[in-house]
């Protein structure tokens, strides 16, 4: 091989290698652009949600399963408690979907009070219910969750699945760590929540995984009048 042929071969190999690097860099650049767009979109969601919430400074957030139909006791309780709290001047904020979310919105709007739904775009299951007086639809779970917990004066949790437990435990953790003010967290449905409370006391508290008194960060009850009283008395402090 002559020096000239060797140099040509080396140049061709170098050029091919540079092309691979360029392709990798282009792919990375594309991912960076996607991430930047996601950040811009989430900022827009935050801004839109703040515009909604600043109109209703006194509010309570309801959490619970989207899968509970009106014949379930939990649905009926959510509807009744939302009606009572809205009569007390609280805007009712839910995730905007069906089940418990629908019940909360329904209880508020039937009395012609503020009923807010913060819906989420999902491939299946989640659709905005018909009982909201003000609503937004989010693309990102994290922006939606932040805005549903932002300065609510109480949280009412009904039976639900992983999403409900995630929301409930995050709120308790934020209160426990001092990242948000202590407000009532009311768990409605003793039959559903008592086994979880037993687990917390038997395994977490007993083994020092949570502090004494942490189990008092939430209240479990079937008494809607008591739940209403707790939230109103705390707001009046």
Mean pLDDT by 10 residues, the chain (237 residues): 52 53 61 70 89 95 97 98 98 96 98 95 79 94 90 96 96 95 97 97 95 95 98 91
Query: Rounded CA gap, 7 and 185, in Å?
Result: 74
Q: Judge contact between 187 and 157, C-beta under 8 A.
A: yes
Output the CA torsion sign for 223, 110, 47, 29.
positive
What is each CA distance from 175 to 149, 169, 217, 218, in whole angstroms? Answer: 11, 10, 8, 10
CB 148 within 8 A of CB 93: yes
Topology, domain 58-235: Rossmann fold (3.40.50)
Q: Length of the chain in residues, anyone?
A: 237
Contacts (Cβ under 8 Å, ≥6 apart) of 141: 120
- Burial of 181 (C-beta count, 10 Å sphere; 0-12/13-18/19+): exposed
Q: If DSSP states are collapsed to H, E and C, what string results for the chain?
A: CCHHHHHHHHHHHHHHHHHHHHHHHHHHHHHHHHHHHHHHHHHHHHHHHHHHHCCCCCEEEEECCCCCCCCCHHHHHHHHHHHHHHHCCCEEEECCCCCHHHHHHHHHHCCCCCEEEEEECCCCCCCCCCCCCEEEEECCHHHHHHHHHCCCCCEEECCCCHHHHHHHHHHHHHHHCCCCCCCCEEEECHHHHHHHHHHHHHHHHCCCCCCCCHHHHCEEECCHHHHHHHHHHHHCC
Rounded distance between C-alpha atoms, residue 75 and residue 100, angstroms: 5
Phi first, then psi, for residue 54 (nearest 5°) are: -70, -15
Identify the CA nearest to 85 among candidates 165, 180, 188: 188
């Amino acid at each position: 091989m002559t020096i000239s042929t060797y140099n040509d071969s080396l140049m061709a190999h170098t050029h091919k290698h540079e092309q691979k690097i360029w392709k990798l860099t282009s792919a990375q650049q594309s991912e960076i652009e996607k991430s930047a767009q996601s950040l811009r979109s989430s900022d827009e969601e935050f801004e839109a949600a703040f515009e909604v919430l600043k109109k209703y400074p006194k509010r309570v957030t309801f959490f619970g399963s989207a899968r509970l139909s009106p014949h379930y006791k939990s649905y009926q309780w959510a509807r009744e408690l939302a009606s009572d709290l809205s009569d007390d001047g609280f805007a009712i904020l839910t995730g905007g979907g069906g089940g418990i979310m629908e019940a909360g919105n329904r209880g508020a709007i039937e009395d012609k009070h503020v009923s807010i739904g913060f819906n989420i775009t999902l491939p299946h299951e989640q659709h905005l219910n018909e009982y909201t007086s003000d609503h937004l639809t989010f693309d990102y779970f994290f922006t939606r969750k932040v805005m549903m917990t932002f300065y609510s004066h109480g949280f009412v949790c009904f039976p639900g699945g992983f999403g409900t437990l995630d929301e409930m435990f995050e709120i308790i953790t934020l209160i426990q760590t001092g990242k948000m003010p202590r407000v009532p967290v009311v768990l409605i449905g003793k039959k559903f929540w008592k086994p979880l409370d037993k687990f917390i006391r038997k395994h977490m508290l007993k083994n020092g995984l949570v502090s004494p008194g942490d189990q008092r960060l939430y209240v479990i009850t079937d008494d809607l009048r008591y739940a209403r009283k707790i939230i109103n008395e705390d707001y009046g402090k």
